[in-house]
Structure 1
Amino acid sequence: MKNLRKIILNFAFILLTINGLYAQNSTSKFKIIAFYTAKNDQAHISFVHEANRWFPEMARKYHFSYDSTNNWENLNAEFLSKYQIVLFLDTRPEEPSQREAFQQYMDKGGAWIGFHFAAFALNNSKFNQDWDWYHNQFLGSGQYKSNTWRPTSAILRVENRTHPATKKLPETFTSSPNEWYRWENDLRKNNNIKILLSIDSTSFPLGTGPKVHEIWHSGYYPVVWTNKNYRMLYLNMGHNDIDYEHRTNKELSFQFANETQNKLIINSLLWLGKGKK
Protein backbone atom coordinates (compact mmCIF):
# COMPACT_ATOMS: atom_id res chain seq x y z
CA MET A 1 0.00 0.00 0.00
CA LYS A 2 2.83 2.34 0.88
CA ASN A 3 4.52 1.61 -2.45
CA LEU A 4 1.28 2.33 -4.34
CA ARG A 5 0.88 5.63 -2.51
CA LYS A 6 4.49 6.54 -3.30
CA ILE A 7 3.94 5.74 -7.00
CA ILE A 8 0.79 7.89 -7.07
CA LEU A 9 2.60 10.83 -5.40
CA ASN A 10 5.52 10.57 -7.80
CA PHE A 11 3.17 10.47 -10.77
CA ALA A 12 1.31 13.53 -9.46
CA PHE A 13 4.60 15.38 -9.05
CA ILE A 14 5.57 14.57 -12.65
CA LEU A 15 2.20 15.83 -13.90
CA LEU A 16 2.56 19.07 -11.95
CA THR A 17 6.07 19.56 -13.35
CA ILE A 18 4.91 18.97 -16.91
CA ASN A 19 1.96 21.31 -16.44
CA GLY A 20 4.26 23.94 -14.98
CA LEU A 21 6.63 23.71 -17.93
CA TYR A 22 3.70 23.83 -20.36
CA ALA A 23 2.28 26.89 -18.63
CA GLN A 24 5.67 28.59 -18.73
CA ASN A 25 6.08 27.93 -22.45
CA SER A 26 2.51 28.88 -23.26
CA THR A 27 2.89 32.25 -21.55
CA SER A 28 6.35 33.00 -22.94
CA LYS A 29 6.57 36.36 -24.66
CA PHE A 30 9.10 35.02 -27.17
CA LYS A 31 11.52 32.15 -27.72
CA ILE A 32 15.31 32.40 -27.94
CA ILE A 33 17.73 29.87 -29.36
CA ALA A 34 21.44 30.30 -28.61
CA PHE A 35 24.09 28.65 -30.81
CA TYR A 36 27.59 28.03 -29.46
CA THR A 37 30.73 26.01 -30.05
CA ALA A 38 32.64 26.39 -26.75
CA LYS A 39 35.87 24.87 -28.07
CA ASN A 40 38.16 27.67 -29.22
CA ASP A 41 39.36 29.57 -26.15
CA GLN A 42 38.97 29.00 -22.41
CA ALA A 43 37.72 32.56 -21.96
CA HIS A 44 35.04 32.06 -24.61
CA ILE A 45 34.12 28.67 -23.14
CA SER A 46 33.75 30.33 -19.73
CA PHE A 47 31.44 32.94 -21.23
CA VAL A 48 29.28 30.32 -22.94
CA HIS A 49 28.81 28.39 -19.71
CA GLU A 50 28.06 31.61 -17.86
CA ALA A 51 25.53 32.65 -20.51
CA ASN A 52 23.80 29.28 -20.34
CA ARG A 53 23.35 29.80 -16.60
CA TRP A 54 22.28 33.44 -16.77
CA PHE A 55 19.81 33.44 -19.67
CA PRO A 56 17.51 30.76 -18.16
CA GLU A 57 17.33 32.84 -14.96
CA MET A 58 16.36 35.89 -17.00
CA ALA A 59 13.86 33.81 -18.97
CA ARG A 60 12.01 32.98 -15.75
CA LYS A 61 12.14 36.59 -14.57
CA TYR A 62 11.05 38.24 -17.83
CA HIS A 63 8.82 35.46 -19.14
CA PHE A 64 10.55 34.35 -22.30
CA SER A 65 11.83 30.93 -23.35
CA TYR A 66 15.53 30.09 -23.73
CA ASP A 67 17.10 27.10 -25.46
CA SER A 68 20.72 26.51 -26.46
CA THR A 69 22.50 24.11 -28.78
CA ASN A 70 26.01 23.35 -29.99
CA ASN A 71 24.61 21.55 -33.04
CA TRP A 72 24.97 24.06 -35.87
CA GLU A 73 23.07 21.71 -38.18
CA ASN A 74 20.00 23.07 -36.40
CA LEU A 75 20.64 26.32 -38.22
CA ASN A 76 17.99 25.58 -40.83
CA ALA A 77 14.67 27.14 -41.81
CA GLU A 78 12.44 24.59 -40.08
CA PHE A 79 14.28 24.78 -36.76
CA LEU A 80 14.63 28.58 -36.80
CA SER A 81 10.93 29.04 -37.48
CA LYS A 82 10.26 28.08 -33.85
CA TYR A 83 12.23 31.03 -32.47
CA GLN A 84 11.92 34.81 -32.49
CA ILE A 85 15.54 35.56 -31.50
CA VAL A 86 18.80 33.80 -32.39
CA LEU A 87 21.98 34.27 -30.34
CA PHE A 88 25.52 33.51 -31.46
CA LEU A 89 27.40 33.17 -28.17
CA ASP A 90 30.91 32.56 -29.44
CA THR A 91 31.23 31.67 -33.13
CA ARG A 92 29.50 31.84 -36.50
CA PRO A 93 28.21 29.10 -38.84
CA GLU A 94 30.71 27.72 -41.32
CA GLU A 95 28.65 25.54 -43.66
CA PRO A 96 27.13 27.28 -46.73
CA SER A 97 23.67 25.83 -46.06
CA GLN A 98 23.72 27.12 -42.47
CA ARG A 99 24.83 30.56 -43.58
CA GLU A 100 22.12 30.71 -46.22
CA ALA A 101 19.46 29.67 -43.69
CA PHE A 102 20.58 32.37 -41.28
CA GLN A 103 20.60 35.08 -43.95
CA GLN A 104 17.10 34.11 -45.06
CA TYR A 105 15.94 34.12 -41.44
CA MET A 106 17.24 37.68 -40.99
CA ASP A 107 15.94 38.87 -44.38
CA LYS A 108 12.46 37.69 -43.36
CA GLY A 109 12.50 39.72 -40.14
CA GLY A 110 14.14 37.37 -37.66
CA ALA A 111 16.14 38.82 -34.76
CA TRP A 112 19.73 38.22 -33.69
CA ILE A 113 22.24 39.15 -30.99
CA GLY A 114 25.91 38.25 -31.38
CA PHE A 115 28.61 38.40 -28.73
CA HIS A 116 32.33 39.05 -29.03
CA PHE A 117 33.92 36.26 -31.09
CA ALA A 118 30.76 35.83 -33.19
CA ALA A 119 32.03 38.72 -35.35
CA PHE A 120 35.62 37.52 -35.61
CA ALA A 121 37.10 36.97 -39.07
CA LEU A 122 40.73 37.02 -40.15
CA ASN A 123 42.16 35.66 -43.38
CA ASN A 124 44.83 33.00 -43.07
CA SER A 125 43.30 31.83 -39.80
CA LYS A 126 40.76 29.17 -38.85
CA PHE A 127 38.10 31.85 -39.34
CA ASN A 128 38.72 33.37 -42.75
CA GLN A 129 36.68 36.33 -43.92
CA ASP A 130 34.80 34.27 -46.48
CA TRP A 131 31.26 35.49 -45.75
CA ASP A 132 30.86 38.98 -47.19
CA TRP A 133 27.15 39.34 -46.43
CA TYR A 134 27.70 38.67 -42.73
CA HIS A 135 30.92 40.58 -42.05
CA ASN A 136 30.63 43.50 -44.47
CA GLN A 137 26.91 44.03 -45.02
CA PHE A 138 25.19 42.67 -41.90
CA LEU A 139 27.80 43.52 -39.25
CA GLY A 140 29.59 46.15 -41.33
CA SER A 141 32.83 45.60 -39.43
CA GLY A 142 34.83 43.56 -41.92
CA GLN A 143 37.83 41.71 -40.56
CA TYR A 144 39.34 41.79 -37.08
CA LYS A 145 42.39 44.06 -36.91
CA SER A 146 43.70 43.98 -33.32
CA ASN A 147 42.76 43.61 -29.67
CA THR A 148 43.63 44.77 -26.19
CA TRP A 149 45.25 42.44 -23.66
CA ARG A 150 44.82 41.52 -20.78
CA PRO A 151 41.05 41.55 -20.42
CA THR A 152 40.25 44.77 -18.58
CA SER A 153 37.21 46.87 -17.75
CA ALA A 154 36.53 49.92 -19.89
CA ILE A 155 34.48 53.06 -19.42
CA LEU A 156 31.76 52.78 -22.07
CA ARG A 157 29.89 55.78 -23.46
CA VAL A 158 26.29 55.53 -24.65
CA GLU A 159 26.33 57.08 -28.13
CA ASN A 160 22.61 56.75 -28.85
CA ARG A 161 20.36 57.41 -25.87
CA THR A 162 17.03 57.05 -27.74
CA HIS A 163 17.44 53.44 -28.85
CA PRO A 164 15.37 50.82 -26.95
CA ALA A 165 18.53 48.87 -26.08
CA THR A 166 20.04 51.82 -24.18
CA LYS A 167 16.87 52.82 -22.33
CA LYS A 168 17.65 54.22 -18.87
CA LEU A 169 21.36 53.47 -19.14
CA PRO A 170 23.72 56.08 -17.65
CA GLU A 171 25.73 58.27 -20.01
CA THR A 172 28.84 56.27 -19.15
CA PHE A 173 29.45 53.11 -17.12
CA THR A 174 32.21 50.64 -16.32
CA SER A 175 32.02 47.34 -18.18
CA SER A 176 33.00 43.90 -17.01
CA PRO A 177 36.62 42.96 -17.86
CA ASN A 178 36.81 42.07 -21.53
CA GLU A 179 39.14 41.69 -24.49
CA TRP A 180 38.29 44.57 -26.84
CA TYR A 181 38.39 44.29 -30.64
CA ARG A 182 39.32 46.78 -33.34
CA TRP A 183 37.85 46.31 -36.82
CA GLU A 184 38.89 46.78 -40.43
CA ASN A 185 35.98 49.08 -41.35
CA ASP A 186 35.12 52.45 -39.85
CA LEU A 187 31.51 51.94 -38.78
CA ARG A 188 30.96 55.69 -38.55
CA LYS A 189 31.10 55.83 -42.35
CA ASN A 190 28.37 53.22 -42.81
CA ASN A 191 24.93 54.86 -43.01
CA ASN A 192 23.23 51.56 -42.16
CA ILE A 193 25.04 51.19 -38.84
CA LYS A 194 23.89 52.83 -35.62
CA ILE A 195 26.65 52.81 -33.01
CA LEU A 196 25.08 52.52 -29.57
CA LEU A 197 28.14 52.28 -27.30
CA SER A 198 31.82 53.05 -27.72
CA ILE A 199 34.90 53.12 -25.51
CA ASP A 200 35.15 56.43 -23.71
CA SER A 201 38.46 58.28 -23.91
CA THR A 202 38.79 58.15 -20.11
CA SER A 203 39.50 54.41 -20.50
CA PHE A 204 42.93 55.05 -22.01
CA PRO A 205 45.40 53.52 -21.65
CA LEU A 206 43.29 50.37 -22.15
CA GLY A 207 44.99 47.00 -21.71
CA THR A 208 48.09 45.99 -19.80
CA GLY A 209 50.13 44.15 -22.44
CA PRO A 210 52.77 42.75 -22.21
CA LYS A 211 52.98 43.60 -25.94
CA VAL A 212 52.96 47.32 -26.70
CA HIS A 213 50.34 47.07 -29.44
CA GLU A 214 47.95 45.37 -27.00
CA ILE A 215 47.61 48.64 -25.07
CA TRP A 216 45.43 51.32 -26.68
CA HIS A 217 46.22 54.96 -25.93
CA SER A 218 43.80 56.72 -28.28
CA GLY A 219 41.28 56.15 -31.03
CA TYR A 220 37.59 55.51 -31.56
CA TYR A 221 36.29 52.00 -30.84
CA PRO A 222 32.59 51.08 -31.17
CA VAL A 223 31.60 48.12 -29.02
CA VAL A 224 27.81 47.83 -29.46
CA TRP A 225 25.92 48.59 -32.64
CA THR A 226 22.91 47.68 -34.75
CA ASN A 227 22.11 47.67 -38.47
CA LYS A 228 18.96 49.60 -39.36
CA ASN A 229 18.11 47.14 -42.16
CA TYR A 230 17.90 44.20 -39.75
CA ARG A 231 16.61 43.37 -36.30
CA MET A 232 20.02 42.78 -34.78
CA LEU A 233 22.56 43.84 -32.20
CA TYR A 234 26.25 43.07 -31.83
CA LEU A 235 28.08 43.34 -28.49
CA ASN A 236 31.86 43.15 -28.23
CA MET A 237 31.48 41.74 -24.70
CA GLY A 238 31.97 38.01 -24.20
CA HIS A 239 35.54 37.26 -23.07
CA ASN A 240 36.06 36.51 -19.39
CA ASP A 241 39.43 36.96 -17.72
CA ILE A 242 41.22 33.64 -17.20
CA ASP A 243 44.37 32.74 -15.28
CA TYR A 244 46.44 31.61 -18.25
CA GLU A 245 49.77 32.63 -16.71
CA HIS A 246 49.68 30.05 -13.93
CA ARG A 247 47.95 27.49 -16.19
CA THR A 248 45.10 27.04 -13.75
CA ASN A 249 42.43 28.33 -16.19
CA LYS A 250 40.71 29.80 -13.13
CA GLU A 251 37.95 32.26 -14.00
CA LEU A 252 38.94 35.72 -12.76
CA SER A 253 35.92 37.69 -13.99
CA PHE A 254 32.41 37.24 -15.35
CA GLN A 255 30.43 39.20 -17.94
CA PHE A 256 27.06 38.92 -16.20
CA ALA A 257 28.34 40.26 -12.88
CA ASN A 258 27.66 43.78 -14.17
CA GLU A 259 24.13 45.11 -13.57
CA THR A 260 24.31 47.95 -16.09
CA GLN A 261 25.69 45.71 -18.80
CA ASN A 262 22.95 43.19 -17.98
CA LYS A 263 20.33 45.93 -18.35
CA LEU A 264 21.63 46.60 -21.86
CA ILE A 265 21.20 42.94 -22.79
CA ILE A 266 17.72 42.65 -21.24
CA ASN A 267 16.63 45.85 -23.00
CA SER A 268 17.88 44.39 -26.26
CA LEU A 269 16.04 41.10 -25.79
CA LEU A 270 12.77 42.81 -24.90
CA TRP A 271 13.12 45.15 -27.89
CA LEU A 272 13.84 42.35 -30.36
CA GLY A 273 11.26 40.05 -28.78
CA LYS A 274 8.45 42.42 -29.74
CA GLY A 275 8.80 41.19 -33.31
CA LYS A 276 8.72 44.58 -35.00
CA LYS A 277 11.30 45.56 -37.60
Structure 2
Amino acid sequence: MKCFFHKSILLLCLMLTGNYIAWCRQEKPRFHVIAFYTGKNDQAHISFVYEANKWFPAMAAKYHFTYDTTSNWANLNSSFLSKYQVVLFLDTRPDDPAQRAAFQQYMEHGGAWIGFHFSAFALTPSAFPQNWDWYHNTFLGAGSYVSNTWPPTSAVVRVENRQHPATRNLPDTFSTAPNEWYRWSNDLRQNPDISILLSIDPVSFPLGTGPKAHEIWHNGYYPVVWSNKRYRMLYINMGHNDIDYEHHSHRELSSTFANETQNKLILNALQWLGTGSNIP
Protein backbone atom coordinates (compact mmCIF):
# COMPACT_ATOMS: atom_id res chain seq x y z
CA MET A 1 0.00 0.00 0.00
CA LYS A 2 2.83 2.35 0.95
CA CYS A 3 4.63 1.56 -2.32
CA PHE A 4 1.46 2.27 -4.30
CA PHE A 5 1.03 5.56 -2.43
CA HIS A 6 4.60 6.65 -3.22
CA LYS A 7 4.19 5.72 -6.88
CA SER A 8 0.96 7.70 -7.04
CA ILE A 9 2.62 10.77 -5.53
CA LEU A 10 5.53 10.43 -7.96
CA LEU A 11 3.17 10.11 -10.90
CA LEU A 12 1.19 13.14 -9.75
CA CYS A 13 4.39 15.19 -9.40
CA LEU A 14 5.51 14.20 -12.88
CA MET A 15 2.14 15.15 -14.31
CA LEU A 16 2.12 18.50 -12.54
CA THR A 17 5.70 19.20 -13.64
CA GLY A 18 4.85 18.30 -17.23
CA ASN A 19 1.76 20.49 -17.16
CA TYR A 20 3.76 23.36 -15.68
CA ILE A 21 6.44 23.08 -18.34
CA ALA A 22 3.79 22.94 -21.07
CA TRP A 23 2.03 25.94 -19.54
CA CYS A 24 5.26 27.92 -19.44
CA ARG A 25 6.01 27.06 -23.05
CA GLN A 26 2.50 27.96 -24.09
CA GLU A 27 2.20 31.24 -22.20
CA LYS A 28 5.63 32.79 -22.67
CA PRO A 29 5.40 35.31 -25.56
CA ARG A 30 7.89 34.75 -28.34
CA PHE A 31 8.05 38.45 -29.25
CA HIS A 32 6.24 41.75 -28.72
CA VAL A 33 4.46 43.86 -31.36
CA ILE A 34 3.31 47.49 -31.12
CA ALA A 35 0.95 48.96 -33.72
CA PHE A 36 0.76 52.72 -34.29
CA TYR A 37 -2.30 54.17 -35.99
CA THR A 38 -4.23 57.41 -36.48
CA GLY A 39 -7.65 56.08 -37.47
CA LYS A 40 -9.09 59.32 -38.82
CA ASN A 41 -10.48 60.81 -42.03
CA ASP A 42 -10.70 58.04 -44.65
CA GLN A 43 -13.40 55.53 -43.74
CA ALA A 44 -11.63 52.71 -45.60
CA HIS A 45 -8.47 53.25 -43.53
CA ILE A 46 -10.49 53.45 -40.31
CA SER A 47 -12.21 50.20 -41.28
CA PHE A 48 -8.84 48.51 -41.84
CA VAL A 49 -7.45 49.74 -38.51
CA TYR A 50 -10.52 48.51 -36.66
CA GLU A 51 -10.27 45.13 -38.36
CA ALA A 52 -6.51 44.86 -37.76
CA ASN A 53 -6.95 45.57 -34.07
CA LYS A 54 -9.29 42.57 -33.86
CA TRP A 55 -7.33 40.18 -36.08
CA PHE A 56 -3.84 40.71 -34.65
CA PRO A 57 -4.82 39.99 -31.01
CA ALA A 58 -6.44 36.74 -32.15
CA MET A 59 -3.25 35.79 -33.99
CA ALA A 60 -1.14 36.83 -31.00
CA ALA A 61 -3.04 34.42 -28.78
CA LYS A 62 -2.71 31.63 -31.34
CA TYR A 63 0.97 32.11 -32.22
CA HIS A 64 2.26 33.30 -28.84
CA PHE A 65 3.27 36.92 -29.28
CA THR A 66 1.90 40.08 -27.68
CA TYR A 67 0.09 42.81 -29.59
CA ASP A 68 -0.30 46.34 -28.22
CA THR A 69 -1.72 49.41 -29.95
CA THR A 70 -1.40 53.14 -29.57
CA SER A 71 -2.74 56.18 -31.42
CA ASN A 72 -0.34 58.39 -29.47
CA TRP A 73 2.57 58.95 -31.84
CA ALA A 74 4.51 60.60 -28.99
CA ASN A 75 5.17 57.01 -27.91
CA LEU A 76 7.48 56.74 -30.89
CA ASN A 77 10.57 57.25 -28.71
CA SER A 78 13.56 55.09 -27.85
CA SER A 79 12.38 54.16 -24.35
CA PHE A 80 8.95 53.00 -25.51
CA LEU A 81 10.23 51.21 -28.61
CA SER A 82 12.82 49.26 -26.61
CA LYS A 83 9.99 47.06 -25.28
CA TYR A 84 9.07 45.75 -28.73
CA GLN A 85 10.65 43.59 -31.41
CA VAL A 86 8.24 44.63 -34.19
CA VAL A 87 6.58 47.97 -34.96
CA LEU A 88 3.54 48.25 -37.23
CA PHE A 89 2.28 51.39 -38.97
CA LEU A 90 -1.36 50.56 -39.71
CA ASP A 91 -2.27 53.73 -41.59
CA THR A 92 -0.18 56.90 -41.33
CA ARG A 93 3.42 57.83 -40.43
CA PRO A 94 4.93 60.18 -37.83
CA ASP A 95 5.25 63.88 -38.68
CA ASP A 96 7.14 65.16 -35.63
CA PRO A 97 10.94 65.37 -36.24
CA ALA A 98 11.75 63.78 -32.86
CA GLN A 99 9.43 60.85 -33.57
CA ARG A 100 10.92 60.39 -37.02
CA ALA A 101 14.45 60.43 -35.60
CA ALA A 102 13.49 57.85 -32.95
CA PHE A 103 12.02 55.53 -35.58
CA GLN A 104 15.06 55.83 -37.84
CA GLN A 105 17.35 55.07 -34.90
CA TYR A 106 15.20 52.07 -33.94
CA MET A 107 15.42 50.64 -37.46
CA GLU A 108 19.13 51.35 -37.87
CA HIS A 109 19.84 49.48 -34.64
CA GLY A 110 18.07 46.26 -35.56
CA GLY A 111 14.40 47.04 -34.97
CA ALA A 112 11.73 45.53 -37.22
CA TRP A 113 8.75 47.07 -39.02
CA ILE A 114 5.73 46.27 -41.17
CA GLY A 115 3.89 49.11 -42.85
CA PHE A 116 0.48 48.83 -44.48
CA HIS A 117 -1.01 50.73 -47.40
CA PHE A 118 -1.32 54.41 -46.45
CA SER A 119 1.79 54.34 -44.23
CA ALA A 120 3.88 54.85 -47.39
CA PHE A 121 1.72 57.61 -48.88
CA ALA A 122 3.48 60.88 -49.67
CA LEU A 123 2.28 63.56 -52.08
CA THR A 124 3.31 67.20 -52.36
CA PRO A 125 1.14 69.22 -51.97
CA SER A 126 -1.18 67.31 -49.63
CA ALA A 127 -1.75 66.76 -45.92
CA PHE A 128 1.03 64.14 -46.18
CA PRO A 129 3.80 65.78 -48.23
CA GLN A 130 7.01 64.04 -49.22
CA ASN A 131 9.15 65.79 -46.60
CA TRP A 132 10.98 62.78 -45.11
CA ASP A 133 13.64 61.61 -47.55
CA TRP A 134 15.12 58.86 -45.37
CA TYR A 135 11.73 57.17 -44.94
CA HIS A 136 10.29 57.50 -48.44
CA ASN A 137 13.43 57.26 -50.58
CA THR A 138 16.06 55.39 -48.53
CA PHE A 139 13.96 53.13 -46.30
CA LEU A 140 10.88 52.43 -48.44
CA GLY A 141 12.52 53.31 -51.73
CA ALA A 142 9.18 54.18 -53.32
CA GLY A 143 9.45 57.97 -53.35
CA SER A 144 6.11 59.71 -53.77
CA TYR A 145 2.62 58.43 -54.49
CA VAL A 146 1.64 58.97 -58.14
CA SER A 147 -1.81 57.42 -58.64
CA ASN A 148 -4.10 54.57 -57.64
CA THR A 149 -6.67 52.19 -59.05
CA TRP A 150 -10.33 52.75 -58.25
CA PRO A 151 -12.59 51.43 -56.85
CA PRO A 152 -11.02 48.98 -54.36
CA THR A 153 -10.83 45.64 -56.10
CA SER A 154 -9.17 42.26 -55.81
CA ALA A 155 -6.07 41.60 -57.92
CA VAL A 156 -4.06 38.55 -58.85
CA VAL A 157 -0.52 38.96 -57.50
CA ARG A 158 2.62 37.04 -58.39
CA VAL A 159 5.35 35.95 -55.96
CA GLU A 160 8.59 37.51 -57.26
CA ASN A 161 10.98 36.20 -54.60
CA ARG A 162 10.37 32.68 -53.31
CA GLN A 163 13.50 32.70 -51.12
CA HIS A 164 12.24 35.33 -48.71
CA PRO A 165 10.83 34.11 -45.35
CA ALA A 166 7.62 36.11 -45.86
CA THR A 167 6.72 34.26 -49.07
CA ARG A 168 7.38 30.78 -47.72
CA ASN A 169 4.72 28.25 -48.81
CA LEU A 170 2.75 30.84 -50.79
CA PRO A 171 1.40 29.80 -54.20
CA ASP A 172 3.02 31.27 -57.32
CA THR A 173 -0.02 33.52 -57.78
CA PHE A 174 -3.12 34.23 -55.73
CA SER A 175 -6.09 36.57 -55.59
CA THR A 176 -6.00 39.23 -52.90
CA ALA A 177 -8.67 40.87 -50.80
CA PRO A 178 -10.12 44.02 -52.42
CA ASN A 179 -7.73 46.94 -52.17
CA GLU A 180 -6.83 50.33 -53.60
CA TRP A 181 -3.51 49.79 -55.40
CA TYR A 182 -0.79 52.45 -55.44
CA ARG A 183 1.71 53.50 -58.10
CA TRP A 184 4.99 55.17 -57.07
CA SER A 185 7.42 57.70 -58.51
CA ASN A 186 10.49 55.47 -58.08
CA ASP A 187 11.11 52.27 -60.04
CA LEU A 188 11.87 49.81 -57.25
CA ARG A 189 13.46 47.40 -59.75
CA GLN A 190 16.35 49.85 -60.14
CA ASN A 191 17.12 49.92 -56.40
CA PRO A 192 19.65 47.19 -55.41
CA ASP A 193 18.55 47.43 -51.76
CA ILE A 194 14.94 46.50 -52.55
CA SER A 195 13.69 42.94 -52.80
CA ILE A 196 10.29 42.91 -54.50
CA LEU A 197 8.24 40.06 -53.08
CA LEU A 198 4.85 40.45 -54.79
CA SER A 199 3.69 42.36 -57.86
CA ILE A 200 0.47 42.68 -59.83
CA ASP A 201 0.15 39.78 -62.27
CA PRO A 202 -0.73 40.89 -65.83
CA VAL A 203 -3.86 38.69 -65.79
CA SER A 204 -5.34 41.36 -63.48
CA PHE A 205 -5.50 43.95 -66.27
CA PRO A 206 -7.57 45.95 -66.70
CA LEU A 207 -7.45 46.67 -62.97
CA GLY A 208 -10.05 49.13 -61.70
CA THR A 209 -13.13 50.53 -63.38
CA GLY A 210 -12.69 54.25 -62.85
CA PRO A 211 -14.58 56.47 -63.60
CA LYS A 212 -11.35 58.40 -64.23
CA ALA A 213 -9.09 56.96 -66.93
CA HIS A 214 -5.95 57.00 -64.77
CA GLU A 215 -7.78 54.89 -62.15
CA ILE A 216 -7.76 51.94 -64.57
CA TRP A 217 -4.46 50.13 -65.13
CA HIS A 218 -4.17 48.38 -68.50
CA ASN A 219 -0.49 47.41 -68.35
CA GLY A 220 2.76 48.08 -66.48
CA TYR A 221 4.74 46.71 -63.57
CA TYR A 222 3.42 47.38 -60.05
CA PRO A 223 5.19 46.06 -56.90
CA VAL A 224 2.81 45.66 -53.96
CA VAL A 225 4.96 43.98 -51.27
CA TRP A 226 8.68 44.49 -50.81
CA SER A 227 11.53 44.53 -48.32
CA ASN A 228 14.65 46.66 -47.97
CA LYS A 229 17.67 44.37 -47.51
CA ARG A 230 19.45 46.95 -45.35
CA TYR A 231 16.69 46.82 -42.72
CA ARG A 232 14.39 44.31 -41.09
CA MET A 233 11.21 45.54 -42.71
CA LEU A 234 8.32 44.79 -45.03
CA TYR A 235 5.90 47.11 -46.80
CA ILE A 236 2.49 45.69 -47.71
CA ASN A 237 0.30 47.77 -50.05
CA MET A 238 -2.86 46.04 -48.77
CA GLY A 239 -4.93 47.86 -46.14
CA HIS A 240 -7.82 49.69 -47.84
CA ASN A 241 -11.19 47.97 -47.42
CA ASP A 242 -13.97 48.48 -49.92
CA ILE A 243 -16.66 50.81 -48.61
CA ASP A 244 -20.11 51.69 -49.95
CA TYR A 245 -18.96 54.96 -51.48
CA GLU A 246 -21.77 55.02 -54.03
CA HIS A 247 -24.59 55.33 -51.51
CA HIS A 248 -22.51 57.10 -48.81
CA SER A 249 -23.58 54.57 -46.18
CA HIS A 250 -20.00 53.86 -45.02
CA ARG A 251 -20.97 50.19 -45.04
CA GLU A 252 -17.98 47.83 -45.25
CA LEU A 253 -18.06 45.73 -48.43
CA SER A 254 -14.84 43.77 -47.91
CA SER A 255 -12.43 42.52 -45.28
CA THR A 256 -8.65 42.62 -45.71
CA PHE A 257 -8.14 39.75 -43.27
CA ALA A 258 -10.72 37.47 -44.89
CA ASN A 259 -8.06 36.28 -47.35
CA GLU A 260 -6.17 33.28 -45.92
CA THR A 261 -3.23 33.39 -48.34
CA GLN A 262 -2.71 37.08 -47.70
CA ASN A 263 -2.90 36.37 -43.96
CA LYS A 264 -0.20 33.72 -44.36
CA LEU A 265 2.08 36.35 -45.87
CA ILE A 266 1.55 38.66 -42.87
CA LEU A 267 2.07 35.87 -40.34
CA ASN A 268 5.21 34.72 -42.14
CA ALA A 269 6.53 38.28 -42.01
CA LEU A 270 5.74 38.63 -38.30
CA GLN A 271 7.46 35.34 -37.52
CA TRP A 272 10.54 36.34 -39.49
CA LEU A 273 10.77 39.82 -37.97
CA GLY A 274 9.80 38.82 -34.45
CA THR A 275 12.07 35.80 -34.04
CA GLY A 276 14.48 35.86 -36.97
CA SER A 277 13.28 32.47 -38.16
CA ASN A 278 10.84 30.97 -40.64
CA ILE A 279 7.49 29.51 -39.70
CA PRO A 280 7.94 25.71 -39.37
TM-score (norm 2): 0.89
Match runs of 1:1-277 below 5 Å: 27-275=28-276
1:3 matched residue in structure 2: none
How far does the alpha carbon of each residue in 1:147-184 deviate from its partner, in whole angstroms, 9 at most, with x for none? 00000000000000111000000000000000000000
Per the TM alignment, residue 204 of structure 1 is displaced from its structure 2 partner at its CA by 0.1
Q: Supply the distance in 1 between the matched residues of 2:276 and 2:260 (Cα, whole angstroms).
A: 25
Distance 2:180 2:68 in 1: 26
**What residue number does 2:3 align with?**
none
Deviations along 1:28-87, whole A, 9 cap, x unmatched? 000000000010300000000000000000000000000000000000000000000000
Greater Cα radius of gyration, structure 1 or 2: 2
Q: Which moved more, 1:23-32 or 1:108-117?
A: 23-32
- CA contact 1:243–1:250 (8 Å) conserved in 2: yes
Deviation of residue 26 (structure 1)? Answer: 6.2
Contact 2:27 2:64 in 1 (8 A): no
Tell me how far apart the structure 2 counterparts of residues 275 and 198 of structure 1 sit (CA, whole Å).
24
CA distance in 1, matches of 2:162, 2:250: 38
The residue type paired with residue 119 of structure 2 is A
Contact 1:238/1:255 (<8 A) preserved: yes
Return the letter of the residue paired with 2:230.
Answer: N
Question: What residue ranges of structure 1 are gaps of 5+ in the alignment?
Answer: 1-21
> Unpaired segments of 5 or more residues in structure 2?
1-22
How many percent identity over aligned positions? 72
* Counterpart position of 1:4: none
1-structure distance, mates of 2:245, 2:77:
37
- The one-letter code sitting in structure 2 at the alignment partner of 1:175 is T
What do you get for the CA RMSD once the two structures are aligned?
A: 1.4
TM-score (norm 1): 0.90
Q: Distance in 2 between matches of 1:89 and 1:256?
A: 13
* Counterpart residue type for residue 87 of structure 2: V
Q: Which amino acid aligns with 1:83?
A: Y
Q: Give the distance between the partners of 1:217 and 1:247, measured in 2 at CA.
A: 28
Counterpart Cα distance in 1 of 2:24 and 2:242: 39
2 CA distance for matches of 1:163 and 1:119?
A: 21
**Structure 2 residue aligned with 1:6:** none
The one-character-per-residue Cα deviations of 1:188-246 (angstroms, maximum 9, x if unpaired) are 00000000000000000000111111000000000000000000000000000000111
Change (3 A) 1:23 1:48: farther
